[in-house]
């Protein structure tokens, strides 16, 4: 998981990984940062981000 975390940091430097009131994942269940369900990177990041925030 730690290796993936570093990868996400490099791929998504603009997306917050720490809990924040402005966190899009927390505010919207539809996860607006997910452009396509075919993108495993966004899906994995979403799962990790939700886990990190929750």
Q: Containing domain of residue 44, as a range?
A: 2-53
pLDDT at res. 16: 52
Q: What integer is the mean pLDDT of 26-38?
A: 49
Average of pLDDT values for 13-28? 49
CA distances (Å), origin 19, targets 35, 43, 50: 22, 18, 9
CB 41 within 8 A of CB 11: yes
- Per-residue pLDDT, averaged over 40-47, amounts to 51
Residue located via tokens 């570093």: 6
Mean pLDDT of 2-7: 51
CB atoms closer than 10 angstroms to residue 45 = 23
Task: State the total domains in the chain.
Answer: 1
pLDDT of residue 4: 53
pLDDT score, position 2: 53
Which of these, 51, 36, 48, 37, lies nearest to 12 by C-alpha position?
48
Residues 25, 26, 28: CA angle, nearest 5 degrees: 65
């Amino acid at each position: 998981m730690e290796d993936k975390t570093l990868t996400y940091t490099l791929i998504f430097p603009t997306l917050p990984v720490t809990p924040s009131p402005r966190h899009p994942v927390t505010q919207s269940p539809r996860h607006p940062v997910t452009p396509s369900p075919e993108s495993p990177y966004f899906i994995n990041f979403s799962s990790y981000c939700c886990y990190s925030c929750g």
